[in-house]
Amino acid sequence: MVSSAISLSTVVLFLPLIGMFILLFLRSEGKDGHGNENIKWTAFGFSVATFIATLIMWATFNPAETGLQFVQKLDWIPSIGISFYLGVDGISILLIVLTGFIMPVAILSSFRAHVIHERGREKLYYAFMLLLEFAMLGVFMAQDLFMFYIFWEVTLVPMYFLIGIWGAERRIYAAVKFFLYTMAGSILMLLAILYVGIQAQTFSVPDIVAGIQSGALVFPFSGIFSTQSFLFLGFLIAFAIKVPIWPLHSWLPDAHVQAPTAGSVILAGVLLKLGTYGIVRFCLPLFPEATVAWAPFVATLAVIGIIYGAWVSYAQTDVKKLVAYSSVSHLGFVVLGIFALNNQGIQGAILQMVNHGISTGGLFLLVGMLYERRHTKDIAAYGGIWKVMPVFGGLSLVITMSSMGLPGLNGFVGEFVILMGTFGSEVLGFFFALFATLGVILAAVYMLYMYQKVFMGEVTHEENKHLEPLHWQETTVLVAMIVVILWIGLQPAPFFAAMDSTVNHVVQNLGPAITSVVMK
């Protein structure tokens, strides 16, 4: 299995890291004494290059293949079965492309952020961005549990600094809370990883999964409190914090409200998906019986999260906090879809991860653009913005509608397929679908509330009467988002096609577990 040729996955993974090192060698100050223009353009260039590489990856990806593609496997610590093992399959390909897409958007949206000019350290900022991209791509491509864990932890570091240095007033508090919270969950996962690794004598995920399927490797299962279940929970809690699944969401509003715009975009766009991705990648195939046994419980939390997040979101007066809580609701749909444990549910969930990255990332961009102009996130400070900035109002409407799940836009496709899967799920069924679908109504309630209070109504605040129109860079990022929103909304078939066979494989392997646990 050890191959020496460099795979495309390695290229994608290391491009941002190379970019980061090059950044570090650039001079911090330009010739005119201000910041060096080359810094941000270099960062942007590398993120675009990475994006192109991910697109090439998607284009050359063979959707019929159930196993790993673009495999790169090198020995690392052979004595304990740890290897440098990269690979891409239908579960990760779209998320890799999403990461590739979100990063240039986030970087471009940082160019005009006044907080960077104010606090300085531009070079460090962009270096952290690229480091973050490296780590996130690593999480999505790592096929070795140990490696996965390292990348998982590395994502924390740049995000910690992005919030801590360039965040709002209570940034330190938020950064520490973000760090600690995630870390606390990770420790449990680490224990579980070590146990699994020791039992399997390898950390290679495909090998472990193969062992489980062949029956060579057994994690004893006898109910919701047995070895397998504890291992399952070890992973799940780490992921649940990251997602976050209700009630572990307490760090999210802090992190979002305090993070700089680009930080929020990445956090919502990609980082939260590490959790849901992890569930699909590890919990389902490694612990099938425990997954089935715990599915109704986790799905209940997800449905509570859908309704709770939406309801809490509606009462917010801080627009960024409103969007943050809406994430709790939206990711509830994703988790619900995963634990439907059927093709519709899981494929819908993966698509919805992408959708949420685009729509909520987009919403945070909008909030950021408003913030740059008015330096407040208080909803009451706005009103009538549509009249003052008509183009912005129109673009915002599309993104808001996407987040609300308007059919014809991306959000609908994901939610619809998830709910359909939930409805027909052998482990969930009618009532889960019923209550989750109520979330669709609530989404309209808080989203329209936000849109109306910010964009409609008469302009009452003097400061709002003359706002700077959109800069071309701002228009570009929003239009890029909207193109994807429309694309997925109208033609989601290629997205489903990319993941279909891999997910089907996962679902098929869950079959025996569903039969044995549900029948019992």
Partner 1 sequence: MENYPQLVTLIIFIPLIGFILNLFFGKRLGERWSGLLGTTAAVLSFGVALLLWSYLINSGYEAAVVNPPFLDGWIRIGSANVEIPWQMRVDTLSVTMMLVVTGVGSLIHIYATGYMHGDERFSRFFTYLNLFLVFMLILVTGNNFVMMFVGWEGVGLCSFLLIGFWFDKKNGLGWKNSNAARKAMIANRVGDFGILMAIFLIFWTFGTVDYFRPGEIANVHLSEGGHGEVAEGHGEAVAAEGEHGEAAPAEGDHSEAAPVESDHSEAVTAEDDHGAVTGPVYVNNDHIETSQLGVFGQAERMVEEHHEVDFGPFSLPIETVLVLITLFMLLGAAGKSAQIPLFVWLPDAMAGPTPVSALIHAATMVTAGVYMMVRSNVFFYNAELTSLIVAIVGATTAIMAGFVALGQWDIKRVLAYSTVSQLGFMVAAVGVGAYGAAMFHLVTHAFFKALLFLGSGSVIHGVEHGHHSALERSGHGHGHGDSHDHVDDHGHGHDEHEEDHAFDPQDMRNMGGLARRMPLTYITYLIGTLALAGIWPFAGFWSKDEILADSWLAGIVDNKLGGFIAFALLLAAAGFTAFYMWRQLEIVFYGQPRTEAADHASESSPSMVIPLVVLAVLSLVGGFVMNVPSGAGAFSVFGVFNDVFGTHKFTDWLAHSVSHAHAAEFQPGIAIVSLVLALGAIFLARSIYGRGKSAGVETRDPFVDAVPSGGTLFGLANARLYWDETYFRLFENPFNKISQFLADTLDWRFWHDYFHETVIGKGFNGIASLLSNPIDLGIIDGIVNGVGNLARWIAGRLRLVQTGYVRTYAISLMLGVVLVIVILLLPMLQR
Nearer to partner 1, 55 or 183 (CB): 183
By CB under 8 A, is residue 318 in contact with partner 1?
A: no
Pull the structure tokens for residue 38: 């080359």
* CA dist 342 → 275, 380, 504, 519 (Å): 19, 44, 8, 17
Compute the residue count for the chain: 520
The reply on whether position 51 binds partner 1 by CB under 8 A is no
Q: How far is CA 138 from CA 146, 306, 346, in A?
A: 12, 29, 22
CB of 274: closest distance to partner 1 in angstroms?
18
Least distance between partner 1 and beta carbon 152 (Å): 12
315 is an interface residue for partner 1 by CB under 8 A: yes
Q: Give the total of residues touching partner 1 (CB under 8 A).
A: 78
Identified binder of partner 1 from the candidate list 22, 168, 438, 480, rule CB under 8 A: 438
Scan residues 383-412 and list those touching partner 1 (CB under 8 A). 384, 386-387, 401, 406-408, 412
Cis peptide before 244 (omega within 30 of 0): yes
Least distance (Å) between residue 480 CB and partner 1:
18
Q: Which stretch binds partner 1 (CB under 8 A): 298-306, 329-337, 451-459, 472-480?
A: 451-459
- Residues whose CB falls within 8 Å of the CB of residue 127, separated by 6 or more in sequence, listed in order: 20, 23, 24, 43
Give min distance, CB of 107 to partner 1, in A.
22
Given the rule CB under 8 A, which of 28-36, 296-304, 358-366, 381-389 is the region that contacts partner 1? 381-389
- Restricted to residues 76-95, the positions that interact with partner 1 (CB under 8 A) are 79-80
Measured from the CB of residue 141, what is the shortest distance to partner 1 in angstroms?
A: 23
Place of tokens 């917010």: 316
Q: Please give the distance of CA 460 from its chain centroid, rounded to a whole number.
A: 37
* Positive or negative torsion for Cα 209, 212, 218, 224: positive
Site string for partner 1, 459-498 (x = CB under 8 A): x------------------------------xxxx--xx-
The footprint of partner 1 on residues 18-47 (CB under 8 A) is none
Considering beta carbons, is residue 211 or 269 the nearer one to partner 1?
A: 211
Closer CB to partner 1, 104 or 345, in the complex? 345
CA distances from 253 to 154, 259, 308, 310, 448 (A): 22, 10, 14, 13, 20
CB of 298 to partner 1, least distance (A): 18
What CA–CA distance (Å, rounded) separates 476 from 482?
10
Decide: is 500 part of the binding site for partner 1 (CB under 8 A). Answer: yes
Q: How far apart are CA 84 and CA 64, in angstroms?
A: 25
Helices assigned H by DSSP within 425-463: 430-455
Q: How far is the CB of 32 from partner 1 (least distance, A)?
A: 26
Mask for 193-212, x = binds partner 1 (CB under 8 A): -x---x--------------
Please give the residues from 153 up to 192 whose contact with partner 1 meets the rule CB under 8 A: 164-165, 172, 176-177, 179-180, 183, 186-187, 190-191
- Is residue 253 a contact residue for partner 1 (CB under 8 A)? yes
CA-CA distance, 378 to 148, in Å (whole number)?
Answer: 39
Closest CB to partner 1 among 56 and 434?
A: 434
Residue 260's φ and ψ, nearest 5 degrees, are: -65, 165
Question: Which of the stretches 43-51, 99-107, 229-237, 430-438 binds partner 1 when contact is defined by CB under 8 A?
Answer: 430-438
Among 420, 470, 480, 486, binds partner 1 (CB under 8 A): 420
CA distances from 12 to 17, 88, 97, 346, 488 (A): 10, 11, 10, 26, 24
Torsion on CA atoms 84, 85, 88, 94, rounded to nearest 10? -40
**Near partner 1 by CB under 8 A, which window of 45-53, 215-223, 226-234, 431-439?**
431-439
How many Å apart are CA 479 and CA 358, to the nearest integer?
11
Query: What is the rounded CA–CA span in Å between residue 10 and residue 72?
Result: 7
In angstroms, rounded to a whole number, what is the distance separating the alpha carbons of residues 509 and 500? 14
Binding status of residue 344 toward partner 1 by CB under 8 A: yes
Query: Smallest gap, in angstroms, from Cβ of residue 213 to partner 1?
Result: 18
